[in-house]
Structure 1
Amino acid sequence: MVKKRRQRPLPIPPRPRRRPWSREFRRQLAVIAGFGLLLVIIGAGFGYFFLQDWYEEHVQRPQSKAVEVGETTFDLDYFARRLKLMVAEFGLQEQPEQASLAVSLTANTLGREELLLQRAPADLGVSVTPEEMELAISDLLGLTQSDPEAFAAALEEGLKGSDLSEEEYRRMMEAELLTSKVQEVFSLSVPETVEQVRMRQILVGTEDEALEVLERLDAGEDFGDLAGELSLDEATKEEGGERGWVDSASEEEGRERQWLARDELDLSYAVRVFDLEVGTPSDPIPGPGGYFIFEVEEKEAEREVTPEQRTRISSSYFTHWLDEQGTLLPSTDYVSSDPDKFRWAAEKAFGL
């Protein structure tokens, strides 16, 4: 038997030896790698800051506090949408003065609405029923409740125009209805007759100027002449300081002097005016715009309240009530004092 010869394995060719990199090549490679890493870091930094700015502009800022009333907070996104409604309602333009006014009005409106929603039921027992709410919305949309499908469709279309959710819209409407109902409560609380005065005034800038006016009055000068000469109140100076000229029903009757009730005057000086004797000038009284000198020309303890006075007095009651409730639910406006929030809300509201 012939033995097979073992085949010898084929020789493995030696691996070619790498040519060692030169020091200069390694240096160039390190520079390229470092430059690439630097570009990656710079890109990541730009990306981070871009994402951070985007997140802050589109997520954080819209969710930040805009108005706080007691424990209730309204975020900046909702504030901007209400501001947009305010701008559209009053036809405001994108001007610094009008933007500041619109922001302030919106903050005050949200604060007043929340006071009404929380305090009117608790303090006055005034509330809005679901039926009243539906009827008010139907009237606003020009529909009747007998057609639910048309009501739902019109409400949906109206919500698109307001940029509010249905819950937000209904809450706004509830506050509006509460305003009317609370004003009616206060109107009914105005008595039929109240103490009233007919008065005139002189307004000057400083207390020293007011004291000089008193010296001239004591010297015998006429109150009306001094009012025409010195008073800063353009509404009364041409009438000799007479407070509240009103036109009569007909031109033949001429013009009548208006009587004023205590609740029609500024609280800062109402009590002092009604304590004056007829014909005796008051001491200088600080008030809006400077210092006043008042003189009561006539006084009646029980004078009938006119319809116009009833409206003014009930509005005064309403304002005082809101001020009182505001001490229980203090309101904070975070937009007017924050330039970034102000800018963001204004841009959204004015469509910039």
Structure 2
Amino acid sequence: MGVLGAVACALMIASCGQNKVAEKPPEPGDTAVARVNGQVIWASDVKREAVAQGLISEGEPLDISSEVFRQRLDEVIDQKLLAAEAVKRKLDKDPLAQRRLAAARERILGDMLVEGVVEKAVTEDAIRKLYAEQQKLSKRSEEIRARQILVGSQAEAESIKKLLATGASFDALAMERSTDQATRFNGGDLGYFTLDVMPEAYGAALKDAQKGALIGPFAAEGGWVLVKVEDKRTEEPITLEAARPQIIRFLTYDQVRDILEKLRGSAKVEMMIGKSQELPAGSAQEPASAPPELQGAAPASAPPAAQPAQSAKQ
């Protein structure tokens, strides 16, 4: 919310003749942090401004001794002074001002309705339930842990393979002979990975490789490769905490879509303009009153896809 939007909100209060706010805290545990011409500014007012500016998330604490809080407090004071001066000049009586104040009021009430509906629906139980459903539907790939030695020619790779057959250490040869600067100093260790993230040559060579196998040499970008398969395991699923933001995003959008469908279904809406040009398939817009953070949210018809486990885990 910019200065003009905040001033509009302040004008709504001022235009109702509320020159002083009651001393009683508007929220449990709230703290009075300033007074402007007898009107109290509460810590919650400043936090709300910080949330509107995207500096903190809804419900996130904001230390009243912090610089961020002090700066937002100054802005709230300025907003109240500007709004009071606007009322003094009777700008709130202007027909255009009345329309803008009414629009601001509708936006605030709509946001409050959405917040209330979402708060009741996006519960810990709902989050865990959707997470469990996603885990049942998700397909986890096989992860491989391997080491590699990359050299410039096939002949050199074959000679190293013979040394390995006599019991030479793969780690030591990787450090001594490999040209891959990213892995040679840790014994050629590639960590855990799925084949879909590897270059095509690796995917083809390791497709049916078993634990303990020595694969290669095979040609790849940069030279010839020997790979030792050290372990194979099923890919770890995404954790609940990692999936939580996406799940909350989906549940929130789903609730906004649901309430708008119900409201439009029971309302008489008459369009006074012609139909707009049809949008291309797959470019459906978010509901007009959806919160800005929901722009680009996943369609409500399908839950968010489970994310793959982190590759190259050591």
TM-score of the pair, normalised by structure 2: 0.32
TM-score of the pair, normalised by structure 1: 0.29
* Higher helix proportion (structure 1 or 2): 1
Whose relative contact order is higher, 1 or 2, with alpha carbons under 8 Å and at least 6 apart? 1
